[in-house]
Amino acid sequence: MTVNFEPITRPLTDAEARAEAERIITQSFQPETPPVRHFPTSFRDNTEVPPYGDTPPVHQDDKRIVPAWAAGIAVASIGVGAGSVGLGCCAWLVLQGLASVTLTSVLMVTLPLAGIAMVATAIGGAINKARSVSKTVYEGPVVQNTQITNTSNQRGMFSRTRNDVR
């Protein structure tokens, strides 16, 4: 495609303008490059393989794409991910159960536990009372002595009162 950039000194006539417009339109819709030919990207050898031969096998180097440590980390991360999904499901189930808790359901669950605790407390109290019974009996006069000492030092604005009861 060649473009003529020479300055036009006179305006085009209608016929020249029409011809130039057709030329520009046909040139713009023409493909610039020839179509691409498609080549096969693989080849299959269909010749028969001999059933036996005297050629030894060819050593093929081990060329792994991913190192072993990276594969191990990938497997471990998959395991951790699966475990965290399991824990998330458990947490979701527990929270769904807690979301549907009502007062009646809480009372129905805790009522037997409270009854068992009350019976256990009563049995423990009875056993404690039975063990704490004193078998010794004190006989003799009882003397009760109460002595009150009242000391008061009052001077000016501050005062202090001390009561000793013995």
For residues 20 and 12, give the distance between their C-alpha atoms in angstroms, rounded to a whole number. Answer: 9
DSSP state letters, 67-122:
-HHHHHHHHHHHHHHHHHHHHHHHHHHHHHHHHT--HHHHHHHHHHHHHHHHHHHH
Residue with tokens 């191990």: 72
Largest Cα separation within the chain, whole Å, is 150
- pLDDT, residue 15, reads 92
Query: What predicted TM-score, i.e. pTM, was given to this entire model?
Result: 0.25
Cβ atoms of 161 and 150 closer than 8 Å: yes
- pLDDT, residue 154, reads 67
For residues 66 and 54, give the distance between their C-alpha atoms in angstroms, rounded to a whole number. Answer: 35
- pLDDT, residue 18, reads 93
CA atoms within 13 A of residue 88's CA, in its CB half-sphere: 6
pLDDT in tens, the chain (166 residues): 566 666 667 788 899 889 989 988 888 877 676 667 777 778 787 887 777 777 777 787 877 788 888 888 999 999 999 989 989 898 888 888 878 878 887 788 788 888 999 999 999 988 888 877 667 777 888 788 777 666 666 666 666 666 666 6
